[in-house]
Structure 1
Amino acid sequence: MFNNTSVLLLSFRYSKNLVIILFIHQLNNRDQDNNDVNIMIIAINFVNTKVRYRFMKADNINLATIIHTGEGEYDGLLRDFVEELKADGVNVQGLLTKHYKNPMIIYDISSNQEIVISQALGKNSTSCCLDLGKLAGAAFVLRKALEEKPDLVIINRFGTAEAEGGGFIEELQALIGEDIPVLTLTADKYLGAWQTFTGGLAEEVAPNKEALHAWFNKVRG
């Protein structure tokens, strides 16, 4: 069974999960220049003992992010990109940011329903005003996208909550597992957490519409 096959095993803890990554290298006997490298990702959740796994090509993960400074400067770029895709008949679902802070407002791309995800802390507060309960409530938009399998899903942020293993992280994992293309924004201060979560397999896209269209056309096939 394991002739001409080599396996590299990596494992690490992420939030409440034990993540095991198997890099499986298979040599094609008929053409030694045509090798397949598959990746098997197993996430074992210690809370509900659920085991998730999937096989995927190392060069075929349909996940990308735009790196930003954390000040919301590319929210408008994402909104414009989505409108162009929708005008071309592309089925885009997910969440976009309408207002970056005071209050934080995101909205459902499909219905335009606005969702406030911040809490009032007072004008002199320096704490993060993100309301994790309201953020969790917005996840229904991504679960709906998971069921309907659109051409593209936008997640407005890989942010504070996701970097700590919460927020939309489970929905993001599920979307990746179904090979649904996902695009998001990641602040540079969370880049380390993003790379840990993705294992370095996601693509970083330049912050312009030409690069975004090129990435989407590639993953859409």
Structure 2
Amino acid sequence: MTAAPVAVVRGADGEAIQALLAAAAAECRARGVTVAGVVAESHGLADRACSAGILRDVASGASWPIYREEPPLDTSCHLDAGGVEAACAALLDAIAASGLVVLSKFGKLEAAGGGLFPAFAAARAAGRPVLTTVSDRHRAAFEAFAPDAAPLPAEAAAVAAWCRSARPGTADDPCG
């Protein structure tokens, strides 16, 4: 039996989930799987409603700032869409050659077709497995995009098991 082509790690702590995604990507890379994607890292600033900080490439370590010092007037969110889109553009060429795509989050930008959405779409079109998390507010938009996504608990063993089963037709154990 093969896993759904997309897995969604569910849990309340965003930083812990991002660390779990990063660890899964590192484990797969250590086993020789080509991994494309980005994980989010917090800005670490106190008293901020938005934790957006940077997106870090799981393969190269390159980073893109996604935090605005001042939010636009119509929101308290400090997320810089331009930074997210720059990170996405840098990933697109690597997706087709990857064995796993790790994308930090499907949130408000992606629900509107921006942010990392082109990377999500490219991975699906290329038949590459995707490991991600989803904002509760935008779960319906995500489910419309990937109705076959497999929900995973925020546990390393569950993520590793999904990674092992995520590459249909592959006899090798790709990630764990």
What is the TM-score normalised by the length of structure 1?
Answer: 0.64
1:134 & 1:201 partners in 2: Cα distance? 29
Equivalence for 1:72: 15
User: Which residue number corresponds to residue 40 of structure 2?
Assistant: 97
Structural mapping, 1:1-221, within 5 Å: 61-69=4-12, 71-99=14-42, 102=45, 104-121=53-70, 127-147=76-96, 149-198=97-146, 200-220=147-167, 221=170
Identity of aligned residues (%): 28
> Which amino acid in structure 1 is aligned with residue 140 of structure 2?
G
Work out whether residues 92 and 119 of structure 2, in 8 Å CA contact, stay in contact via their aligned partners in 1.
yes
Unaligned runs of 5+ in 2: 46-51, 171-176
Give the number of aligned pairs. Answer: 159
Does the CA-based 8 Å contact 1:92-1:154 persist in structure 2? yes
The amino acid across from 2:122 in the alignment is A
Distance in 2 separating the partners of 1:73 and 1:110 = 19
**Which digits, 9 at most, give the CA deviation of each residue in 1:84-132, with x for residues without a partner?**
222222221211122256561111112111110111117xx96111111
Q: Which has the higher helix share?
A: 2
SS at match of 1:154: strand
- Distance of 2:30 and 2:122 partners within structure 1: 27
Q: Counterpart of 2:40 in 1: which secondary structure?
A: strand
> Secondary structure at 2:110's aligned position in 1?
helix
**Cα distance in 1 between the residues matched to 2:92 and 2:116:** 10
CA-to-partner distance for each residue in 1:65-93, whole Å, 9 max, x for gaps?
Answer: 11233743311111222222222222212
Q: Which has the higher contact order (CA 8 A, sep 6+)?
A: 2
Partner-residue secondary structure (3-state), 2:137: helix
Distance in 2 (alpha carbons) for counterparts of 1:176 and 1:144: 14
CA contact (8 A) 2:21 2:131 kept: no
Q: Give distance in 2, aligned partners of 1:82 and 1:119.
A: 27
Cα deviation digits, residues 47-78 of structure 1 (max 9, x gap): xxxxxxxxxxxx76411111233743311111
SS class of match (1:97) = strand
CA contact (8 A) 1:70 1:188 kept: no
The CA distance in 2 between the partners of 1:114 and 1:60, in whole Å, is 30
SS at structure 1 position matched to 2:131: strand
Per-residue CA shift, 1:176-198, capped at 9, x if unaligned?
A: 01101111111222222211222
RMSD (Å) for aligned C-alpha atoms: 2.3
Q: Deviations over 1:3-50 (max 9, x none)?
A: xxxxxxxxxxxxxxxxxxxxxxxxxxxxxxxxxxxxxxxxxxxxxxxx
2-side partners of 1:76 and 1:110: how far apart? 15
